[in-house]
Chain A
Amino acid sequence: MTISELYASIDGDYEQAKRVLRMDRLIDKHIRRFKSAGVGEQIVAAGRAMDAQALFESAHAMKGVCGNLGLVKLAAAANEITEEFRPGHARTMSDDEVREMIAGVETLYRNAIEGIERYEAQA
C-alpha cells in the first residue's frame, strides 16, 4: 500500500498533507506517529469525564495534527469540539450532543488507525 492509497482508504486529503509536509517520508513518519500519539484516546477519555479543559486541549491537539496530516474530517470534528470548549466561550451544545460528536470522532479515528495499521503491515 502506498501512502496515497492509505489516504484514499481513510478518506484523508493526501494533497493537503503533501502541501504541508512536502515529502512522503515526513508524511510517513507522522502518520505512524499519529497512531502511537493517542490523541483519539485522550479525547474519548476527556469526553467520558466531560472534562471541559481536557476536552479543549485534546481536541485542539487533534485538530492541529490532523490539519497538518490532511485528515480533514477528523480535523473539522476536532475543531467543533475545540470551539465548544474554548475557555471563555459560552457552550452551545448539550453534553449529549457532545458525546454524540465524540462518538463520531472516535469512529473516524478508529477508521484512520485501522487504515494506518494496514499500511504499516503492507509497507
Chain B
Amino acid sequence: MIQSKQIRKSQLVLVVDDMEINRDVLGIILEDQYEVIFAADGEEALQKIYQYQHCLSVVLLDLIMPKMNGFEVLEHIRNDDSLQYLPVIVLTAEKSAELRALQMGAADFITKPFDVHEVILARVARIIELSEGRQLISAAEHDKLTMLYTRNFFFEYANRIQHFQQARMDAVVLNIEQFHSVNALNGYEFGDEVLRTLGDEIRAFLQETDGIASRFEADRFDIYCAHQGDYQAMLNRFQNALNKLSHKSSIRLRMGVCLWAEGVDPVLMFDQANAACSKVRGDYMRHLMVYDEQLREHELLDQRLLNDLQRAVDERQLQVYYQPKYDVTGERPRLSSAEALIRWNHPELGMIPPGTFIPLFESNGQIGVIDKFVWNEAARQLSEWHARYDIDLSVSVNLSRVDLFDPVLESTLSSLVESNGLEHMNLKLEVTESAYTENSDYVIETVNRLRDMGFEIEMDDFGSGYSSLNMLSAMPIDVLKMDMKFIRNIEHSEKDLRLAELVLDIARYLKVPVVAEGVETEGQLQLLRDAGCDIIQGYFFSPPLPADKFEELIKRELNRA
C-alpha cells in the first residue's frame, strides 16, 4: 500500500507498559510516524482503549504489569465484539508468553529489549495495514445496519455454494410494502429499526436452516436457503417479528420465491424471485408468490414489448383510434369531440390490448414515447379533418404523469398545435386524477400553465383516485370524466346510480361539464342524461375507430346535420 508519512501520522498507537523506559523507547521509535498515547497498566489501558476506540490503529501491550496484566487486557478485548477489529501486538521477552498471547488473539509480538527499531516499525505498520484491510473487507462484506451480506459478497458466496457444494437452494426476496411511507410517517430512525429487526429475524432463521442472506438494497432482502416446505410460514415468521415492533404502524411484508432448478444460476433465480415479489406489490390479499411458468411467460412478453416499442413507433405498428364523444344536452346527440386511443398491431403478436402494454410502459417511464406518438398523429389527423370537412371537432389525448414532469412539455405541445394549424383548444388534454396525488403543487402549476396557453384540461377517471373535495377545488380542470366503473351498474344498482349523481353534483358545484365514459346501453344513457350528464362516450355510440372509419362517421354526422 502506498502511504505518505502525513497519512500515517493520523494513525493512533497506544503503548501499554508499566516501565517508563519502555514507554519512552517505543515513543521514540513510533513518534515520527504515528500519534502515540501511553498507559502504565492494564486498567489505564482499557480506559484509553474505550476512550479512543474509533481511532485507535493498534495497541502495543506489555504482558507483565501491576493492577491488570496484559493477558487480562487481551481477554477483555477478545470478549468485546466492539473491539474485534482492534489489533494488539504484545511486548514480551518470553517465548511461552508469545504463544499464549497469540492464542488469545494477539496479532503479533515484539521482543524486548527494543534494540532494532526498524523491525518494530515494520511490524507495527504491517499489522495496521492488515487490520485496516480486514476492516475494509468486513465493511464491504456486511451491511452495517443489519449485519447481513452486502449484494456483491452475497452473490459471490451464493455462486460458490451453488458451484462447489452443488446444494439445492431456493431464492427468496423479501420486500417491505410502501417502506418510504413507513419512513415518512414514523421517521428514519423507526425505519432503521424495522430493517434491523427484519435482519435479526433473518439471521435467527439462518441459524436453524442452511443459507445466507443479504440486504440487497433499501428495503429488499435476499435469502438463499435450503428448500422450505411452507413458505407462507416463513413469511409469517418475519411478519410476526415486525408486528411485535410497534402497534402504531402497520408494516406489511411481501415475498417472492424462486424454487431451485437445474442449471439456473443464483443471479437469475433472484431476478425471478424479485419478479414474483413485485407481482404482489400493493396486493392487500396476497403477500406471497412463487415464480412459475405463467409469470415467466408474462415477464418474457413484457420484455419483448419493451424491446419492440421503438420499432413499433418507427414502423407504424402503433395506430391511433378515435372514440367519439357525443354532446347529449340537446334533443339529439351531437358529435362534439373524440378521444385518441393507442392500439398496437404487432406483426407477430397481433393486436395487443392497451391494458397489456400501457401499464408496463407507465411503470418504466416509456409511456412518454407512446403519448408523443399519439399527440403527433392526432394533431396531424385533426388538422386534415378540419381542412377536409370544415368542422368544429376537437380531440382529447392522454397526458401521463411522466409527461407532466417533462421540462419541454409546454413548448412541445405548443409547436405541435401551431405546426398543424390548430387552435390550442382543439387539443384537449386528459390528466388522470391519480396524477395529482403526488407532488400535487408541481402538477397543478404545470396544468395551470397549460390552461393559460389555451389547452382544455379533462380530469380522467374521476372518482377512481382519492382527491379530497378541498383539493378538488384547487385542481385546474375544464371537464370531469367520470370513471367508467360508476357507469357499469347504474341500471341495476341504486348505490352506483347515486354515486354517479354525486359526481355530477360535484361537477355542477365546480361548474364544469361531465363526460361519462364506458356507456354501453340506452338505459345507461337515459339515466345519465336525466341526471344532467353533458357528454357521453362509449360503445353505445361507437367503439374506438381507426382514422378511416372515424372519417366515415364524421361524414355521416355531417349528412345528418
Enumerate chain A interface residues (CB-CB to B < 8 A): 16, 19-23, 26, 29-30, 33, 57, 60-61, 63-65, 67-69, 79, 86
Contact with A along B89-100 (1 / 0, CB 8 A): 000011000000
Known contacts A33-B21, A65-B19, A68-B21; can you find 14 more A-B pairs with CB under 8 A?
Answer: A19-B115, A21-B24, A23-B28, A26-B24, A57-B64, A61-B18, A64-B22, A64-B112, A65-B21, A67-B93, A67-B113, A68-B22, A79-B93, A86-B94
Least CB separation from B17: chain A residue? A64
Contacts A20-B114, A20-B115 given: A64-B25 contact, CB under 8 Å? no
Contacts A68-B21, A68-B25 given: A60-B112 contact, CB under 8 Å? no
> Shortest CB–CB separation between residue A111 and chain B, in angstroms?
20
> Shortest CB–CB separation between residue A12 and chain B, in angstroms?
13
Compute how far the CA of A60 lies from the CA of B97 in the bound complex, rounded to whole angstroms: 13
Compute how far the CA of A57 lies from the CA of B93 in the bound complex, rounded to whole angstroms: 14
B25 close to A20 (CB less than 8 A) = yes
B28 close to A26 (CB less than 8 A) = yes
- Interfacial chain A residues near B24, Cβ < 8 Å: 21, 26, 29-30
Compute how far the CA of A69 lies from the CA of B25 in the bound complex, rounded to whole angstroms: 11
Kindly state whether residue B418 has any CB partner on chain A within 8 Å.
no
Q: Please, how many residues of chain B have a CB less than 8 angstroms from a CB on the other chain?
A: 18
Contacts A33-B20, A33-B21 given: A63-B93 contact, CB under 8 Å? yes
Question: Which residues B1-59 have CB closer than 8 A to chain A?
Answer: 18-22, 24-25, 28
A21 close to B28 (CB less than 8 A) = yes
B19 close to A20 (CB less than 8 A) = no
A21 close to B25 (CB less than 8 A) = yes
Kindly state whether residue B508 has any CB partner on chain A within 8 Å.
no
Cβ-closest 6 pairs across A and B = A67-B113, A19-B115, A30-B21, A68-B113, A20-B115, A68-B21
B19 close to A61 (CB less than 8 A) = yes
Of B28, B64, B115, which one neighbours A60 at CB under 8 angstroms? B64
- Interfacial chain B residues near A65, Cβ < 8 Å: 19, 21
A67, A79, A86 pick with most chain B CB within 10 angstroms = A67
Compute how far the CA of A63 lies from the CA of B19 in the bound complex, rounded to whole angstroms: 11
Least CB separation from B115: chain A residue? A19
Compute how far the CA of A33 lies from the CA of B115 in the bound complex, rounded to whole angstroms: 20
- Interfacial chain A residues near B25, Cβ < 8 Å: 20-21, 26, 68
Compute how far the CA of A29 lies from the CA of B20 in the bound complex, rounded to whole angstroms: 11
A19, A22, A60, A64 pick with most chain B CB within 10 angstroms = A64
> Shortest CB–CB separation between residue B68 and chain A, in angstroms?
14
- Interfacial chain B residues near A16, Cβ < 8 Å: 113, 115
A68 close to B64 (CB less than 8 A) = no
Compute how far the CA of A7 lies from the CA of B20 in the bound complex, rounded to whole angstroms: 21
- Interfacial chain A residues near B114, Cβ < 8 Å: 20, 68
Compute how far the CA of A65 lies from the CA of B21 in the bound complex, rounded to whole angstroms: 7
Instruction: Jot down 12 A-B pairs with beta carbons below 8 A, ordered by A.
Output: A16-B115, A20-B113, A21-B25, A22-B117, A23-B28, A26-B24, A30-B24, A57-B66, A64-B112, A65-B21, A68-B114, A79-B93
> Shortest CB–CB separation between residue A122 and chain B, in angstroms?
23
Contact with A along B114-157 (1 / 0, CB 8 A): 11110000000000000000000000000000000000000000
- Interfacial chain A residues near B115, Cβ < 8 Å: 16, 19-20
- Interfacial chain B residues near A69, Cβ < 8 Å: 21
Least CB separation from A22: chain B residue? B28
> Shortest CB–CB separation between residue B196 and chain A, in angstroms?
45
- Interfacial chain B residues near A86, Cβ < 8 Å: 94
Compute how far the CA of A44 lies from the CA of B82 in the bound complex, rounded to whole angstroms: 44
- Interfacial chain A residues near B20, Cβ < 8 Å: 30, 33
Least CB separation from A39: chain B residue? B19
> Shortest CB–CB separation between residue B71 and chain A, in angstroms?
11
Compute how far the CA of A62 lies from the CA of B253 in the bound complex, rounded to whole angstroms: 67
B93 close to A64 (CB less than 8 A) = yes
A68 close to B28 (CB less than 8 A) = no
Least CB separation from B91: chain A residue? A64
Compute how far the CA of A86 lies from the CA of B19 in the bound complex, rounded to whole angstroms: 19
> Shortest CB–CB separation between residue A77 and chain B, in angstroms?
14
Compute how far the CA of A68 lies from the CA of B19 in the bound complex, rounded to whole angstroms: 11
Least CB separation from B113: chain A residue? A67
Compute how far the CA of A103 lies from the CA of B18 in the bound complex, rounded to whole angstroms: 26
Least CB separation from A23: chain B residue? B28
Compute how far the CA of A60 lies from the CA of B112 in the bound complex, rounded to whole angstroms: 12
Compute how far the CA of A30 lies from the CA of B94 in the bound complex, rounded to whole angstroms: 23
Compute how far the CA of A65 lies from the CA of B107 in the bound complex, rounded to whole angstroms: 25
- Interfacial chain B residues near A67, Cβ < 8 Å: 93, 112-113
Least CB separation from B117: chain A residue? A22
> Shortest CB–CB separation between residue B121 and chain A, in angstroms?
13
Compute how far the CA of A29 lies from the CA of B24 in the bound complex, rounded to whole angstroms: 10
Compute how far the CA of A63 lies from the CA of B20 in the bound complex, rounded to whole angstroms: 14
Least CB separation from A57: chain B residue? B64
Compute how far the CA of A65 lies from the CA of B18 in the bound complex, rounded to whole angstroms: 11
Least CB separation from A18: chain B residue? B115
Contact with A along B210-250 (1 / 0, CB 8 A): 00000000000000000000000000000000000000000
Least CB separation from A88: chain B residue? B96
Compute how far the CA of A31 lies from the CA of B21 in the bound complex, rounded to whole angstroms: 10
> Shortest CB–CB separation between residue A103 and chain B, in angstroms?
24
- Interfacial chain B residues near A60, Cβ < 8 Å: 64
- Interfacial chain B residues near A68, Cβ < 8 Å: 21-22, 25, 112-114
Compute how far the CA of A22 lies from the CA of B114 in the bound complex, rounded to whole angstroms: 11
